[in-house]
Amino acid sequence: MSEIKRIHDMLTSGEISCRELTEKYLKEIENSNKELNAYVNVTADAALAQADKVDEKLKNGEEIGLLEGVPMTLKDNISTKDIETTCCSKILTGYKPIYNASVWDKLEKEGAVLLGKTNMDEFAMGSSSETSYFGGAANPFNTNHCAGGSSGGVASAVGANIAPYGLGSDTGGSIRQPASFCGVVGPDRSDYKDSRRRGDCVRRDFRL
């Protein structure tokens, strides 16, 4: 959690505004994503709107939570109400869920800033992200290599520092493997009772 805590402290100390921080990440995405292909959908307007809400709270002297105002990303198989969620398959192009996955519902209520949805193997069936309809996600340390999969986009984004952290999904290594490829931390929970609640963190606590 060290990267998240560092950003939280920057926001609460006034070192940077949430809008300035979010704009920095969006600019880095604009500069880097053409080569990395980590993001398949950048939600800039929603991210900046949430950033402004956080800045208003800080301006009024209100406390913010640890995750509030911290930019992040979600694997494109995690449902986001009214935001296109394709599972990186052509068949779901244009699909906008009518509900949030539980993990995003909780993060949204905590005030997280969603930068966008990240690349993955189509329907999470793969271990390289190369089966994505949008093309594979590149490794941030060598773009001639893959980022791993199936959560390759989020691992690539975090490894390239175009997101401080993100959520993926994992049943047989789909977070742990791309995290190891991209030099980031990718822990996985050991039990799931409801598929709508699934989502595991990839973060930049330690760099290889």
For residue 31, what pLDDT is reported? 98
Cis bond leading into 150, ω under 30°?
yes
| Structural domain contains residue 208 | no
Catalytic residue at 59?
no
Tell me the C-alpha distance between 43 and 23, whole Å: 12
Q: What average pLDDT does range 111-132 have in this prediction?
A: 97
Cα end-to-end span (Å), the chain: 16
Full domain range(s) for residue 175: 2-203
* 52-75 pLDDT per residue, tens: 999 999 999 999 999 999 999 999
Q: What is the pLDDT of residue 1?
A: 63
Computed over every residue of the chain, the mean pLDDT equals 92
Is 5 considered catalytic here? no
From 89, 127, 169, 174, active-site residue: 174
Average pLDDT of the residues in 2-8: 94
Rounded Cα distance, 193 and 170, in Å: 14
Choice among 1-10, 88-97, 131-140, 151-160 with the minimum mean pLDDT:
1-10
CATH number of residue 189's parent domain: 3.90.1300.10
Number of structural domains found in the chain: 1
List the helix and strand counts (H, then E) for the chain. 6, 7
- Read off the pLDDT of residues 173-196 as tens digits, 9 standing for 90 and up: 999 999 999 999 998 765 555 445
Question: Which position among 127, 150, 151, 169 bears the catalytic label?
Answer: 150
Among 75, 151, 156, 169, the one annotated catalytic: 75
Q: Is residue 56 part of a domain?
A: yes
Q: What percent of the chain has pLDDT over 90?
A: 87
89 is an active site residue:
no
Residue 75, domain member (yes or no): yes
- 167 within domain boundaries: yes
pLDDT in tens, 149-169: 999 999 999 999 999 999 999
